[in-house]
Structure 1
Amino acid sequence: MRLVEYADRDMLAIDVANVLAGALETALLHHETVSFAVPGGTTPGPVFDALCAANLEWDRVHVLPTDERCVDEGDDRSNAKLIKERLLTNRASSAVFLPLFGGGTPEQNLAETETMLAPHFPLSVLLLGMGNDMHTASLFPGMEGLDAALASDAPVLTVARPETQPEARVSLTGSVLDGALSKHLVIFGPEKRDALDRAMTMPPEEAPISAVLNNTNVYWAE
């Protein structure tokens, strides 16, 4: 893990956008298409606002969520909505979006979605967020099925029903996230910094973020 600290969040957003653009550009030099997994939530929005203007061959970039709430795409809690509004705009509007959830029950199209995603692994570039509880994507501490989702032989996707959340979710599993070729984590505030410090001494079953910290670039601002 490599930790980079910033004086403010605006500076972090601009710098991380440049880092991600560089990682994508490098990947595009070696592959016809590249995969870019990104989180939802409030943290990545400013990064997306800067990254969407990057001068890349976005039509060769396949963007997917690290996880998705099982809600309609028009719902404000939808990660797809945030990604499309904040990232897949400007120059990045030509990127290809790969959804994790298309309606119905979470399990209904899981196998079909896994088949659709399979050609895009390993992930070329991964951007993650982390909660104060040390969850990442939708891998929550203590949730049913976490051990299976963190196993080395886990499938591509898992259905998460954490008791702390109002809806079911579909999430990339630990091995898929950890297998990304270029890994990046953005966190803000003292609580998440403390959570990161704790996670480094805890097993993934208690701190799921620890399953993906090896060789990850972490960016923090107050």
Structure 2
Amino acid sequence: MLTERLFENRQDMVAALEAECVAALTQAIEERGEATFMVSGGSTPEPLYKSLSNVDLDWESVYVALVDERWVDFDHDKSNEAFTVKHLIQNKAAVANLIGMKNTAETAQEGLADCEAAYQQLAQPFDVTILGMGNDGHTASLFPHANGLEPALNPDSPELCAAIIAHQSEVTGAITERMTLSLAGLLRSRTLVLLLTGDEKLAVLRKAQAGTDVAEMPIRAVLQQDRVPVVVYWAP
């Protein structure tokens, strides 16, 4: 269920992934009248989003939702929702429907029920889900040994979302309170795309593939499952 697509440069990688995203979203719109596109934040997918924003697509029928979010307001410089608006919900894609995770609740745990209700309204299975991976082996906001990680990694949970408090590290930064798709939520996807760049990330992937402890490297829960295809896109 794991396919690796290794490219010589990032430009070719982005072009290939853009084509796959457009094909999947277009097919979903044709088949059921709407498409769900699950997106992650960060510098790696930024060129993909910028390019996609200029593609001719029935964007009014696309629901863009976050894979995870720091529990910060939209005007915070670390907001994934704001990042997504800045880079994807622009140009031709400005009319897409964006579903964020952060709500008015004081904590992620308190906001979980409302977030879950919003995500349950999305058409399933999600058509494309873009994931990244940290040098610590986290994906989405499923961080190693985090508070809330164990139930969030239950593949048979009925809940799409989970509230997480990560252990602070160089990777997490100061904001450790997060909302994230659970493993069960991720597995509601037709395809999981793991988007990576650089030799360091490739080495982390190989380490994850060589071990079995999902609490140590939660990306392993995604790599080891056999329910949903995972496609690794990597470039130097």
In the alignment, which residue of structure 2 is the partner of 1:88? 89
Q: How big is the shift at 1:179?
A: 2.5
Cα deviation digits, residues 132-169 of structure 1 (max 9, x gap): 11110000111122111001233221111111232211
2:77 pairs with 1:76: yes
Please tell me whether the aligned partners of residues 178 and 211 of structure 1 are also in contact (alpha carbons under 8 angstroms).
no
Q: How big is the shift at 1:29?
A: 1.7
Q: Note the aligned Cα RMSD (angstroms).
A: 1.4
Q: Which has the larger displacement, 66-75 or 150-159?
A: 150-159
**AA aligned opposite 2:138:** H
2:179 pairs with 1:170: yes
In the alignment, which residue of structure 2 is the partner of 1:160? 164
The alignment's TM-score, normalised by the length of structure 1, stands at 0.95
Count matched residues.
222
**AA aligned opposite 1:208:** P
In the alignment, which residue of structure 2 is the partner of 1:112? 114
Write out the 4+ residue segments of structure 1 that deviate beyond 4 Å after TM superposition. none
In the alignment, which residue of structure 2 is the partner of 1:44? 45
Identity %: 32
The alignment's TM-score, normalised by the length of structure 2, stands at 0.89
Q: How big is the shift at 1:198?
A: 1.5
Distance 1:75 1:109 in 2: 18
In the alignment, which residue of structure 2 is the partner of 1:194? 203
2:226 pairs with 1:217: no
**AA aligned opposite 1:191:** E
Cα deviation digits, residues 73-119 of structure 1 (max 9, x gap): 11111100110010111111111001111233212332122112113
Distance 1:29 1:183 in 2: 21
2:154 pairs with 1:145: no
Q: Which has the larger displacement, 13-22 or 56-65?
A: 13-22
Please tell me whether the aligned partners of residues 18 and 51 of structure 1 are also in contact (alpha carbons under 8 angstroms).
no
Unaligned 5+ runs, structure 1: none
Unaligned 5+ runs, structure 2: none
Distance 1:151 1:129 in 2: 20
Please tell me whether the aligned partners of residues 62 and 98 of structure 1 are also in contact (alpha carbons under 8 angstroms).
yes
In the alignment, which residue of structure 2 is the partner of 1:13? 14
Distance 1:83 1:218 in 2: 21
Q: Which has the larger displacement, 147-156 or 66-75?
A: 147-156
Q: Which has the larger displacement, 209-218 or 38-47?
A: 209-218
